[in-house]
Structure 1
Amino acid sequence: MEDNVMDKILIEAIRVAKLAGLKIKEIRENDGYDEYLKKGYELVTTADLISDKIIKTEISKVFPKHKFISEESDIENSLIIKEPTWIIDPIDGTVGYANNHYQVAISIAYAIDNIVEVGVVHNPFLDETFYAVRGKGAFLNNHKIQIKSANTLKQCVIGTGFPHNKENVDYIVETLRLVLPKIRDIRRLGSPALDICWVACGRLQGFYEEKLSPWDVAAAKLIASEAKATVGHYSLENSSILPNCLNGYKVIVSSPGVFEELKAILISVI
């Protein structure tokens, strides 16, 4: 019975992600969006809001009693999840979206009792859909995926991201200064959900970022875990009450063989 429920949730999550993806593609192709800043520094477009509305409306038709946590919500319900809840990022990579980049995603996760059970990350511009149900493996466009094994960082391409608020730029630069000589190369996609999914499918062997939001990591963390990545943190705020599946603070996702090596470098900067 439970398997049937999760299968239904997965099917709906994929359907809704693709529906919203088609819409944001159409909007961008027709230059049909406006841009503005949230909090004075974070870019938001009207396409984000349209995608958010599509996702919530479509899911509510099928699951009318379920709750939502969304990047574009004015007031978050709660980040302690007991009831069925969808955690959504209607456009992950808004800056890239507004500059005609292709690494843009819609992230949809379903959680209950503080555990993410289903995760979908859909890139409408490359027609790539990553997804996972807890305990059933990770997939990209119906093909099972797994991390690329690595035993030393010198073999690795590592992803990272930068915050919208640049007040802590010295810390970011110092972290890069220490990481870069130890690895093969570095990438910055601009969509943390895709970064983490790229670890899951072997395009990257690791990813780190200082501070991400629950909607950035909820779906992607599950997908990476199901692809046999090691998912953790290089520090945790003592005051954090977030369940681990939603916690994006100082997050690391990597091939198991290099997790501790990467973590040791990142800890040294703190």
Structure 2
Amino acid sequence: MRLWSDSRVGITEQDLADIALTVADEAAQLARTVRAEAVRDVATKSTVTDVVTAGDTAAEELIKARLAELRPGDAVYGEETGGALGDGVTWLVDPIDGTVNYLYGHPSHCVSIAAQVGGRSVAGAVVEPVSGRRWSAARGHGAWLDGVRLSVSAPASLELTLLATGFAYDRDRRLAHAAVVAELLGVVRDIRRGGSAALDLCAVAAGWVDAYVESWLSPWDWAAGALIAEEAGAVVRLPGEHGLGDSAVFAAAPAIADDLARACADAGMGAERRGG
């Protein structure tokens, strides 16, 4: 199945997913191997709580080098070192999603790599350095965890929905989203906060949670995970596809998607003060 035109004959979405998984696996091994040394070299970005370790930088450098070998000519855009968006395939790279967890030794962090065409993810992979779990998807080919096909849950109602979310690094944005979450706590089963947007989206795909919503995400945060959730059957709405804010991501089991979207809007999601 081919959803775009590529001059390299025979390249499919599945081929790109295989490349993403191979490279993400190599980067995850590197992140795990260098962690003890990497967390001694820590810098900050947007705020004092928004950290980047030497492990993030090393993993992104490896990913860019490997993609240059395997897909020469493709554009690569990484969280830490930037890049450019291309007219053909663009790779969106989050070398360690959940860097604060990585810094603390919490196992909930991952490498996330997605191939996009025209701003739409066509292939992606998420690999966890600690557990070794390997998530992947190719558009039209389903979503997979270690060779097992994934399918979302089917909660009976919104009040029986287990919802995942996360919070921005900026203090004002955290507080604004916390007010939304406080309202949602009254209408769902419970809330989970893992610290990695990519893994939260994968959890929706596996049925480990029923839905995930978060504001103020960047494309590399969701590019692979959102495709994995969508290919597992989730209703996925990306920035610009809903009324929940121009940087929010929404992924939910179909059984409760409409009800949850209304509840999010009623709770003020999309109207939060943007902060600094």
The TM-score, its normalising length taken from structure 1, stands at 0.89
The one of 257, 261, 269 equivalent to 1:263 is 261
The correspondence of residues 56-71 of structure 1 with structure 2, limited to 5 A, is 56-71=64-79
Q: Distance in 2 between matches of 1:54 and 1:85?
A: 17
Distance in 2 of aligned mates of 1:169 and 1:103: 20
Runs of 4 or more consecutive aligned structure 1 residues displaced over 6 Å after TM superposition? none
SS at match of 2:76: strand
Structure 2: state its 5+ residue gaps. Answer: 3-9, 272-276
Q: Check if 1:168 corresponds to 2:173.
A: yes
Question: What is the rounded CA distance, in whole Å, between the counterparts of 2:164 and 2:133 in structure 1?
Answer: 19
How far apart, in 2, do the equivalents of 1:210 and 1:23 lie?
Answer: 30
Give the Cα–Cα distance (whole angstroms) in 1 for the partners of residues 173 and 59 of structure 2: 31
Q: Which stretch shifts more, 30-39 or 59-68?
A: 30-39
Partner-residue secondary structure (3-state), 2:121: strand
Asked whether 1:34 is paired with 2:41, we answer yes
Matched, 1:45 2:53: yes
Q: Secondary structure at the match of 1:198?
A: helix
Question: Greater strand percent: which structure?
Answer: 1
SS at match of 1:151: coil
Q: How many Å separate the matches in 1 of 2:114 and 2:38?
A: 29
Partner of 1:136: 141
1:243 matched to which residue of 2? none
Of 137, 153, 157, the match for 1:152: 157
CA–CA separation in structure 1 for the residues paired with 2:135 and 2:153: 16
In the other structure, the counterpart of 2:27 is: 20
Partner of 2:6: none
Q: What is the identity, as a one-letter code, of the residue corresponding to 2:257?
A: F
Give the match's secondary structure for 1:109: strand
Alpha-carbon distance, 1:8 to partner: 2.8
What percent of counterpart residues are identical?
30
In the TM superposition, 1:72-221 aligns within 5 A as 72-74=80-82, 76-78=83-85, 82-221=87-226
Residues 236, 82 of structure 1: alpha-carbon distance in 2 compared, 3 angstrom cutoff: farther
**1:14 CA displacement:** 1.1
- The answer (yes or no) to whether the contact 1:33–1:47 under 8 Å persists in 2 is no
- Cα deviation for residue 208 of structure 1 reads 0.5
Is 1:7 aligned to 2:14, yes or no?
yes
Offset of residue 22 of structure 1: 0.6
**SS of 2:212's equivalent?**
strand
- Runs of 5+ unmatched residues, structure 1: 241-248
1:54 and 2:59 matched = no
- How much has 1:83 moved relative to structure 2? 1.5
Which region of structure 1 is more displaced relative to structure 2, 164-173 or 251-260?
A: 164-173
Task: Report the number of matched residues.
Answer: 257
Cα deviation for residue 4 of structure 1 reads 4.8
**Shift of residue 29, structure 1, vs aligned partner:** 4.1
Between stretches 165-174 and 58-67, larger displacement belongs to 165-174
Separation in 2 of the partners of 1:92 and 1:31? Answer: 15
3-state SS of 2:93 partner: strand
Closer, same or farther in 2 for the Cα pair 1:210/1:183, shift >3 Å?
same
1:115 shift after superposition: 2.4
Q: CA RMSD in A?
A: 1.8
Shift of 1:252: 1.1
Aligned to 1:181, what secondary structure does the other structure show? coil
**Match of 2:65, as an amino acid?**
T
2: distance between equivalents of 1:210 and 1:7? 30
